[in-house]
Amino acid sequence: MVAERQTPPAHVGVFLLLNGAHVAGAVSCLAQLGIPDLVEAAPKSAEELAKQIGADPQALYRLMRATACVGVLSEDPDGKFSQTPMSTVLRTNATPSLRALAIMAGREWHGRGWSHLEYCVRAGKQALEQIYGAPVFEYLKQNPAEGQIFNDAMTQISMIDSPAVADAYNFDGIHSIVDIAGGHGLLLATILKRNPQLRGTLYDMPHVIEGAKNGPLKPVMERCTLTSGDMFSSVPAGADAYIMKHIIHDWQDDRCVQILKACRKGVNSGGRLLVVDNVIQPGNDFSPSKFLDLQMLIFPSGCERTEKQFRDLFAAAGWKLSRITPTVAADSIVEGVPA
C-alpha cells in the first residue's frame, strides 16, 4: 500500500516562499566573492578560499554550506567544495554567465527598491525616485560602478535570448532592420550573422553608440549603420522591420505609444514591428514573468503585458498584432503589421 503524499500546512509553504529572499542573498554574495571562479580548477576548502579572498573561514564555510544545499556548489565528504551546474553559470567566463545578474540582485539599490514595493503598489510609481531622488536609469548614470554591473547583467541575459530570437523568427523577406535601443548590438549582430540578406541599423543614445563601435557588430559592420537619437521622437526611417528587445516593458503605455508611432511612421510599406518581451499568460500557474512585472513596477515603472495589452498598445500606435512567436528563452516575439 502506497502512503498518500501529504500536502504541507500553509504556514510551511509560506516559510519556503519567504526563504527565497535568503537564498537569493546568499547566491548573490557567493557570486560577488567570485567563489565559483575559484573552484573551477579543483575543489577547495573554506580555509583555502578564505585566504585567497581575505574572508573569515568559518563565515565563508557557512555561506558555501547554505548555497550547496540549493545546488550551488557541492560539499564533498572531506569538507571541500566543488562545482555544480548551477555554480558553473556563476563563473565569470561561463557561457552563458549570470554572475553579474546575481551580483546585481544583492546590491543595496536593488534591495532598497524591493523594500519599497508597498509604496510602489499604493502610489503606482517606481521606487528609486522616492529613495534616491532619481529614476533608475539616471541613478545608474550617476553611479557608474552600479551602472556597469547593470550593463553587464543585461549583456549576459542578451547572450541567452539573442540566439533564441534569431532561431525562432523567420527573417526571410526582410532586407533592412533597425534595432531600437539595442545597446552594443548583440541582438542585431546575432540576427545579421544568420541572415546574410539583411542590412541593419543600431539606434541608441550617443554614449551607447560610441561604446558599440568595437562591440559585437564589428564582424558585420559592412552591413550595419550606427545611429543615435531619441526613440521617443523619431527613429531611422525606411526599414522593413523595427525590433526592440526588453524596451517596451520599461515604460508605461503613453511612452510606449510614442516609440511605436515613430516606428509606424518610419516603416516601409508591408513592413513589420517585432517586440521581444515576456507575454503574461492567464491563470494561476507559476510564471517568472509575473515577478519580473513587479521588478518593472519597482524600477523603471513599466510592466510586462498580456496578449490583449499588447494588442491594445499596438492599435493605439497604428499597428495590428499579427502573431506571437515563443522562443526557447522566456521571451516571445510579438509581431505587428501596419494597421
| 212-270 pLDDT, tens digit each | 888 999 999 999 999 999 999 999 999 999 999 999 999 999 999 999 999 999 999 99
> Is 249 one of the catalytic residues?
yes
Question: Largest Cα–Cα distance in the chain?
Answer: 71
Look at residues 205, 207, 277, 266 and name the one whose alpha carbon lies nearest to residue 241: 266
Picking from 176, 171, 217, the residue whose alpha carbon sits closest to that of residue 200 is 176
pLDDT digit string, tens, across residues 193-223: 999 999 999 999 998 898 888 899 999 999 9
Provide mean pLDDT across the span 306-315: 98
Position 132 pLDDT exceeds 90: yes
**Helices and strands in the chain: count of H runs, count of E runs:** 16, 12
Bridge partners of residue 274, in order along the sequence:
243, 335
The reported pLDDT for the residue numbered 1 is: 56
Question: What's the pLDDT tens digit per position in 315-325?
Answer: 999 999 999 99
> What's the grid cell of residue 102?
546575481
Considering the chain, what percentage of its residues have pLDDT values greater than 90? 95
Rounded mean pLDDT, 5-32: 93
> Would you say 104 and 113 are in contact if contact means Cβ atoms under 8 Å apart?
no
The pLDDT score that the predictor gives to residue 7 is 83
Domains 19-99 and 143-338 share a fold: no
Residue ranges per structural domain of the chain? 19-99, 143-338
| Selected catalytic residue, list 110, 116, 184, 249 | 249
CB-based contact 56:89 (threshold 8 Å):
no
Looking at residue 10, its pLDDT comes to 94
- As a whole number of angstroms, the distance between CA 221 and CA 70 comes to 44
Q: How confident is residue 17, by pLDDT bands cut at 50, 70 and 90?
A: very high
Question: 41-58: per-residue pLDDT in tens?
Answer: 999 999 999 999 999 999
- Pull the grid cell for residue 32: 560577488
* Among 165, 167, 162, residue whose Cα is nearest residue 184: 162
CA dist 238 and 249 (Å) reads: 25
244 pairs with which residues across the strands?
A: 275
pLDDT at residue number 264: 97
State the pLDDT at residue 2.
Answer: 61
The band of 8, judged by pLDDT with boundaries at 50, 70 and 90, is confident
**Which residue do the cell numbers 580548477 mark?**
41
Fold assignment, 19-99: Arc Repressor Mutant, subunit A (1.10.10)
Per the omega criterion (within 30 degrees of 0), is the bond before 282 cis? Answer: no
Q: Which CATH superfamily is domain 143-338 in?
A: Vaccinia Virus protein VP39 (3.40.50.150)
- Integer Cα distance of 22 and 15 in angstroms: 11
DSSP one-letter code for 223: G
Helix (H, G, I), strand (E, B), or coil: what is residue 10? helix
pLDDT of 122 reads 97
Q: What is the mean pLDDT of the chain?
A: 96
pLDDT above 70 covers a percentage of the chain that reads 99
